[in-house]
A and B are shown apart, each in its own frame.
Chain A
Amino acid sequence: MTDRLSVDYTSLEWKASVLERMAGGIAAAIPRIAAATIRAGLHELPAYGIFSSLPVAADLFAICLPGTPGSLPDAVAELLSLAAAVRAAEVTYRAADTVGWARSELPTAEALVMLLAWNRLHRVVALTRLSGVPLLPGLIEAPGEALLEQTDRWVEGDGRATTVDPRTMPRLEAGPAAGLPSLLGVVSTISDANHPSTAALLRVGDDPPRYVLCLPGLQDSTGSDAGSADLPGALATLTGHSAYIRTMRRLLAGLPPGSQVLLVGHSQGGMVAEALAESPTVGRTAIVGVLTAGAPALATPVAAGVPYLALRNTGDPVPKLGVLAGGNVADGQGRGVVEFSTPGRWPSGTKHGLGSGGYLTKAGSRDPRVTRFRDQVSGFFTTGPVDVRFVQVTDSGRPLPR
């Protein structure tokens, strides 16, 4: 590839320093405003019959209060995160330039830098937890995660869901929601080269509305298209911040209030499922189960109380990538990791496939942990036909399929 970068590094350096200077200017104004507000004694004015001073005082304190949306500290944080993102981009560009990568590989380089930054953040947060001061890790983690989210929006874009005409999709087998193997079968079927990054939302019941969201894994290892199930997207998903996650979160939040969802994902799709289930609800949609196959564990575990089953072939190299994300999923009662092996040379890429890796078979097995999970989510199984909506997830709105 000869499509080389052309970046003005001096200009990026200047942009970052201007942003930092502006953030500094606002940061310096905050104590001045707070002190002037306290000195002015707005809270004393009601004694003089001037009650309208109280809302002014409340507004000024809200403006100065960190963590309040639309506050001055918020603006400082945004400017600083912009500056940090510009500097991170500069480092990435320099690295990509140095090794002679092409422009099309830039998102991968950016995602790698993001993963590196995430690992560092994760380590710092873990160390501050040891300090015993409960406030400290939060002070570091919250802005760090916000920065990563912002950075990923740059790398991948905000993410967009486009409904796909079902007539163009591969035909699903009869009874696609008959059980766990059938649902993994749906994931396998929609992992179609002609429809990259396409998820399937199955409506499997009513009262309350019940859905199964089937999430395919990485389909484009180059990152050169706009699909979110690509290499940069997978690297970003390891950090818990990606266009795939954002788009699916919006999709779940948009379901009818009170809906219940079972998440089923393979590989990168499994990571997306884990990230979505960090909290037991997304908007007014409850996540009531997570099934992953061949997926690395993220550092932030699935919310306690959400039934969780992670199938892993010990010869599948992909789940081992969890070390990059610092993932550590405890194998608890009724939830957790089920490891199994299949015959053949170890490890092997073919063991990552849903069929060739034995995942479909294991999902239908009588393993007690699989059985327990199956019982927990049995309300999502139906042998009849179901309504299916196919949604293609793209980073920034560029059309797919190619």
Chain B
Amino acid sequence: MDLPLLVSPDKLRRLEEELAASADQLGRIAEQTASLGAAQGWEGAAHRAFFAATEGVAARCRELSARLSADAARVGRLEEQLAAELAVLHRLEQDVLGALHRLAGRAIDEVGGEARSLLDQVRARLPGPGSPGWRDVASSLLNGGWL
């Protein structure tokens, strides 16, 4: 399904991948910072202070990594929800357009040019493919008020 929409499962998947990769990177930086703090090279007091400072930074990097991982998982779930929602909207779109075409076909046979013009006006008012507006259209049709 190729949808020219502001939102799409593909874009969410790319965000999820970006977040997961960044979480991995932060995790690696946390470990590297901690091991850097433990490395020797200078005098006792400064070494201890540096060790404590790197421990603090490493802990914050670990927290950020966990937060990004959690966000990546949440984006993954959003991706699934959006895919399911778009599938429903797509089915509604097919149903509405199918019904409209059937109605229009019969009207064209009976009235001619005026019905075709009306059909074009109605189609122009329909939402774009994948738009959440299809829910409103379907709901209005069921209530008998939209057309």
| Chain A interface residues toward B at CB < 8 A | 5-8, 11-12, 15, 18-19, 22, 25-26, 29, 32-33, 36-37, 39-42, 44-45, 47-50, 52-53, 56, 59-60, 63, 70, 72, 74-75, 78-79, 82, 85-86, 89, 93, 103, 106, 150, 153-154, 157, 396
Pick the contact of A75 from B11, B54, B60 — CB < 8 Å? Answer: B60
Residue of A whose beta carbon sits closest to that of B48 = A396
User: Chain B nearest CB: distance from A225 CB in Å?
Assistant: 13
Complex Cα distance A36/B79, Å? 14
Main DSSP-derived SS at the A contact region: helix
Most buried by B among A53, A74, A157: A53
Point out the residues of chain A lying under 8 angstroms from B15, CB to CB: 36-37, 39-40, 42
Is the beta-carbon distance between B132 and A36 smaller than 8 angstroms? no
Pick the contact of B19 from A33, A41, A50, A153 — CB < 8 Å? Answer: A33
Stretch touching chain A among B35-43, B92-100, B102-110, B138-146: B35-43
Pick the contact of A40 from B14, B36, B67, B86 — CB < 8 Å? Answer: B14
Residue of A whose beta carbon sits closest to that of B13 = A40
User: Chain B nearest CB: distance from A237 CB in Å?
Assistant: 19
Pick the contact of B50 from A8, A63, A86 — CB < 8 Å? Answer: A86
Given A56-B74, A154-B50, also A7-B18 (CB < 8 A) = no
Which residues of chain B in 120-147 are interfacial with respect to chain A, using CB atoms and an 8 Å cutoff?
Answer: 132
Q: Size of chain B's interface in residues, with CB distance under 8 A?
A: 45
| Chain B interface residues toward A at CB < 8 A | 6-7, 11-12, 14-15, 18-19, 22, 25-26, 29, 32-33, 36, 39-43, 45-46, 49-50, 53-54, 56-57, 60-61, 63-64, 67-68, 71, 74-75, 77-78, 81-82, 85-86, 89, 132
Given A12-B41, A50-B78, A50-B85, also A60-B14 (CB < 8 A) = no
Is the beta-carbon distance between A82 and B11 smaller than 8 angstroms? no
Point out the residues of chain A lying under 8 angstroms from B43, CB to CB: 5-7, 93, 103, 106
Point out the residues of chain A lying under 8 angstroms from B57, CB to CB: 75, 78-79, 82
